[in-house]
Amino acid sequence: MAGFALADSTEAVAQERTGPQIASDVTVPVTLRVNGSEHALILDTRVTLLDALREHLKLTGTKKGCDHGQCGACTVLLNGRRVNACLTLAVMAEGEKITTIEGLVAGNTLHPLQAAFIEHDGFQCGYCTSGQICSAVGMLAEAHEGWPSHVTKDLVAGLVALTDEEIRERMSGNLCRCSAYQNIVAAIRDFEQGQRT
C-alpha cells in the first residue's frame, strides 16, 4: 500500500513540474476560398489565416508586420470586410470568401486603387502597401454603405463624404513606417473621386 501511494505522489510531482500533457497534433481539414480558388488544407487549429496564406498557400503579398493586430500589414478582405489576418484563425475563415492583394489584380491589370498608389507614390519601402490597399478597398465599401467613423459629422445623412480627415481616421489601423500617409490619402481620395465620376 505504501509503495502504491509513493508511486502516485511521484507521478503527481512529475506532472506538476512538466504541466499536463497536451496532444501536439491537433489538425483538422480546412477549405479556404482564396482569390476565387478553393484550397483544401490540413491545418493545426492554432494556425492563423496569415500563416495559412503565407506558409501553406505561398501567397506572400500579405505581410507579417507586428503579428499582434497593431500595424495592419496583414489586412485582407473576408467577405469584403477588412480583417487582420494575424488575429484570425484559419479555421474561422473556412468557406468564407478571402481576398488578398494578389486577388485584386485582374490578369495583368492592376486594380485601379493599386494604380492610384503607384501614381501618387503611396508607398516607399512597400512593406505595408498590400495591407494599406486591402484596407482601403474595405474602407471604401464601409463608407459607401454609410458606416460612420469617429470623425463623421452627419450620422443621419447615410452617404459619407470622404474628406482627407475621414480617410485618415478610417485608415488609422494601417501604419506606414516610412510615413507616406499624405500620398496614401491622396491615392485613396483620387480613386474615390474617379469612382464617383
- Note the pLDDT tens digit of each residue in 90-102: 999 999 999 999 9
Spell out a b/e string for 113-141, using b for 16 or more CB atoms within 10 Å of the CB, else e: bbebbeebebbeeebbbbbbbbbbbbbbe
Q: How many domains does the chain have?
A: 2
Per-residue confidence (pLDDT) for residue 103, from 0 to 100: 97
Q: Running DSSP on this structure, what letter comes out for residue 136? A: H
Mean pLDDT of the chain: 89
Same domain, 120 and 143: yes
Could you tell me the residue range of the domain that residue 46 belongs to? Answer: 27-69+85-103
User: Using 50, 70 and 90 to split pLDDT, how confident is the model at 41?
Assistant: very high
Q: What is the mean pLDDT of residues 64-76?
A: 96
Percent of the chain with pLDDT strictly greater than 90: 76
Same domain, 132 and 93: no
Per-residue confidence (pLDDT) for residue 171, from 0 to 100: 97
Residue 10 predicted with pLDDT over 80: no
Sequence letter at residue 121: D
User: Using 50, 70 and 90 to split pLDDT, how confident is the model at 7?
Assistant: low
Same domain, 94 and 119: no
Q: What is the mean pLDDT of residues 134-142?
A: 97
